[in-house]
Every structure is written in C-alpha cells, then in structure tokens.
C-alpha cells in the first residue's frame, strides 16, 4: 500500500516527492548501468581464450584510471546531494502550499491506537476518518497523547512525527477526489498494526455538506469524552463529534489533561501546565 501510494500521488507534495525519487534513481543508474555492462565486458575481453588481451602482471597504478574512478562517483554524489538538499527545503512540511484560498485547519492527535482529527474552524472532530476538500490546502498541527508516532498518507506525501508535549506542522493538498489510505509509520505498541485511517477527498460543496451533517449528530468532545477516548483501544470504528472544546488541542499539547499513564499516576487529576513548547 505504501509503495504503490508513493508512486501514485494525488497531490502536489506527493508529485514533487515522486519526482525527487525518480531523478535520484536516474542519476544513480548513470553509475549502475555502466558498471554492470563493464563487468560483463571485462569478463569477456580478459577471458583465457582471448590472446589479444594484454597481460600486465606487474601493473599497479594509473593516474587516469584513478581520476575516472573518483571523479564520476563524486559528481554523482554532488548531484544526489543537491537534489536532496533543494528538494527537501522546497518541501519543508512547515512551508504553506501556494494557494489563493485559505487553508483548512486540522489538529491531529495520535492516541493508543487511533487518530483524532479536530477541525477547530468548523467546531467538529472525527476519529480514524479524515475528510478534506479537493483542491484546497490543508494545514495540520500534530501532537501525541503519549507515545511517539508518525502520521503518513502515502498518496499525499510527507510523513511527519507526533510527539507528546509539542506540536509539529504539515501542509498537504489533495488534487483528485478519492479515498486514500492513512497510517501510522512508527511502531507504537500492541495495537500499532491497526492504527490506520481513511482519507476522503471530496468536492468543496460535498465537504461543506459533510461538515453541516456532522454538526447535527453525534456526541460532544469535551475533556471527559477525550479522557475516555484516550484509553488504549484497537480497531476503533470511524466516529464523529458534533461539537468540541475549543481549547482541547492546546490542553493536550500542554499535558493538562489526564492520560492513561499520567492520569493514573496523578490520581486522575489535571496536570499542571508545563512551559509551552513552540513548534
């Protein structure tokens, strides 16, 4: 799923990453193919039955050969380094995608073993279901309830880590309507294998209707509901919440909410807020 997704991108970030992959592969073939051909050519030319091959048992050094042996790999490494350097900086996950439209804001929390998506502007939230409008950039702020994790949608690009007590950022966009596979790319315990989610890229009108329908059904996501959700669980079915506590994500980042590890040790009481770590 991951490899086929990376090679079949559905957004500008994924397309750019595939181009870097193909360019790097082509440059490496500049050395690999000639070396393979030269191996067969040398074996054929210096075979025992070829009397035209020059036999030099005392040969030890050639400046010209040394120049070729070191110069070509150096040029290849320079090209590969340049592609990786400029490409990675151009695809900095914190860098906003160029667009005339305002980005959709999504706050992501990795839990044991599920994904929580909060839409702060819309006032709703989902679990193991991410819905985004086609053609519009999506700005993610990501954190973890505890164990380090990694957010990855192969067809959209750029996996990024989530860590407790801090936030990371990611900008993605889906250019084609469809359903894409999202997953955890970092082992995080017993339920890791089933820690995946569905990404639905829909038309902007369909997205607006989905938001409106979500606001009319389902429970509220307040601190108590989050505490229950944060308990370890596996194979969690997609769920929606019609309303959220606006300060919930910041409370999770600041570790002011009890978690299965912190809450038990602290008698289920609210933890004091540590100094806020900036992204």
3-state secondary structure the chain: CHHHHHCCCCCHHHHHHHHHHHHHHHHHHHHHHHHHHHHHHHHHHCCCCCCCCCCCCCCCCCHHHHHHHHHHHHHHHHHHHHHHHHHHHHCCCCCCCCCCCCCEEEEEEEECCEEEEEECCCCEEEECEEEEECCCEEEEEEEECCCCEEEECCCCCCCEEECCCCCEEEEEECCCCEEEEEEECCCCCCCHHHCEEEEEEECHHHHHHHHHHHCCCCCEECHHHHHHHCCCCCCCCCEEECEECCCHHHHHHCCCCCCCCHHHHCCCCCCCCCCCCCC
CATH for 104-265, options being 3.20.20.140, 3.40.120.10, 1.10.8.350, 2.60.40.420: 2.60.40.420
Closest by Cα among 220, 219, 229 to 257: 229
Domain positions in the chain are 2-48+61-90, 104-265
Q: Looking at residue 260, what is its pLDDT?
A: 61
The pTM of the full predicted model, rounded to 2 decimals, is 0.81
For residue range 119-135, what is the model confidence (pLDDT) as tens digits?
A: 999 999 999 999 999 99
Does 178 or 68 have the greater pLDDT score?
178
Q: How far is CA 62 from CA 40, 59, 67, in A?
A: 22, 9, 9
pLDDT for 153-162, tens place per residue?
999 998 999 9
Residues 6+ apart with CB under 8 A from 211: 119, 122, 124
Tell me the C-alpha distance between 39 and 206, whole Å.
59
Average pLDDT, the chain: 89
Cβ atoms < 10 Å from Cβ of 215? 15
259 confidence band (pLDDT: 50, 70, 90): low
Of the options 1.10.10, 2.60.40, 1.10.1760, 1.10.287, the CATH number for the domain spanning 2-48+61-90: 1.10.287
């Amino acid at each position: 799923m991951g490899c086929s997704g990376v090679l079949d991108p559905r957004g500008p970030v994924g397309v750019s990453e595939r181009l870097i992959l193909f360019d790097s592969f082509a440059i490496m073939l500049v050395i690999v193919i000639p070396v393979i051909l030269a191996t067969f050519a040398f074996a054929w030319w210096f075979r025992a039955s070829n009397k035209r091959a020059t036999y030099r048992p005392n040969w030890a050094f050639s400046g010209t050969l040394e120049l070729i042996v070191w110069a070509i790999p150096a040029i290849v490494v320079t090209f590969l380094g340049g592609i990786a350097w400029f490409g990675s900086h151009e695809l900095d996950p914190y860098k906003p995608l160029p667009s005339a439209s305002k980005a959709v804001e999504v706050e992501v929390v990795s839990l044991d073993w599920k994904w929580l998506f909060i839409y702060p502007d819309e006032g709703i939230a989902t679990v193991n279901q991410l819905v985004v409008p086609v053609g519009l950039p999506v700005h993610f702020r990501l954190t973890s309830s505890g164990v380090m994790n990694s957010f990855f949608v192969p067809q959209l690009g750029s996996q990024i880590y989530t860590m407790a007590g801090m936030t990371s950022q990611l900008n993605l966009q889906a250019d084609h309507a469809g359903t894409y596979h999202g997953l955890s790319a970092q082992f995080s315990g017993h339920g890791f294998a089933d820690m995946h989610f569905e990404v639905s890229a829909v038309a902007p009108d369909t997205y607006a209707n989905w938001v409106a329908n979500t606001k009319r059904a389902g429970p509220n996501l307040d601190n108590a509901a989050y505490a229950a959700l944060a308990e370890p669980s596996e194979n969690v079915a997609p769920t929606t919440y019609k309303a959220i506590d606006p300060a919930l994500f910041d409370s999770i980042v600041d570790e002011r909410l009890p978690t299965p590890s912190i809450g038990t040790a602290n008698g289920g009481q609210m933890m004091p807020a540590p100094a806020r770590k900036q992204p």
